[in-house]
Amino acid sequence: MTFRNRLQYLLVWKLRVSNRRALELILSGEVLVNGISVNTNIELSQTDEVIYNNEILKEGKKLIYIAFYKPRGIETTLNTAIADNLKNILPFEEELFPVGRLDKESEGLLLLTNDGTLYDKMLRSENKTEKEYIVTVDKLIDVNFLESMANGINIMGKMTLPCQIEKIDDFTFRIILIQGLNRQIRRMCYKLHYEVLRLIRVRMGTIELGDLVAGEYRVTPSPALPQQWGRE
């Protein structure tokens, strides 16, 4: 909780009054938050509307969460100076940004939102959430490969955490990570002399890709846990 998120700060900033006067207005009950009179210096959220003397001082923001299937070959960036950027293919008028990343050659589930608070919490959080992928490689998958991947592999000078892995067919496996190291699955496979041919993220925490195909999206509820979703 910070002072800048407090109702008193908003009144000082919007009405150009002193801290003391702003507190007096709050205590008088003249300030409405979401249509309700308040008399304490509450913390405001993005969705709160604040009205004083029939003037809207802060509009409530409608938060949007989109499950989007990022196609292969698209960079997870809104920078239009970069070729094949995400912004050029998004069909939304609302300014949304990605939470977590997928590298250019990977595809699948990407969360898009205008919820800056959620984004900040995810970046700061030490907790991790499950990220599930379906991966196709260039060689037959054997027991040694599965055991090595599950137990952890030294990449970039550190051991990956133990993970869940399941063989789907001779060349395809499902893997669930709670880590977000850069290009983690590709690097792990490379260490075992396998090349990743296709990598699809199918789940992030409680949000699933479902039956979406490349370029499609659906509106989804707010994620239950603001946890760190890294890049693969």
CA–CA gap between residue 49 and residue 165 (Å, rounded): 47
What residues are labeled active site?
A: 103
Residues 6 or more apart whose CB falls under 8 angstroms from that of 7 comprise: 26, 31, 33, 38, 41, 42, 43, 44, 50
CA–CA gap between residue 153 and residue 166 (Å, rounded): 17
Residue in 165, 68, 96, 176 with CA at minimum distance from that of residue 129: 176
Hey, how many other C-beta atoms are within 10 angstroms of the C-beta on 191? 14
What Rg, from alpha-carbon coordinates, does the chain have? Answer: 23
Tokens of 152: 């952890």
Q: Tell me how far apart the 2 most distant CA atoms of the chain are, in Å.
A: 73
Q: What beta strand segments (E) does the chain contain?
A: 31-33, 36-37, 50-52, 55-58, 65-70, 97-99, 107-113, 131-137, 154-155, 158-159, 164-169, 172-177, 196-204, 207-208, 217-219
Residues 6 or more apart whose CB falls under 8 angstroms from that of 162 comprise: 150, 151, 152
Distance of CA 100 to the CA centre of its chain: 5
CA–CA gap between residue 232 and residue 35 (Å, rounded): 44
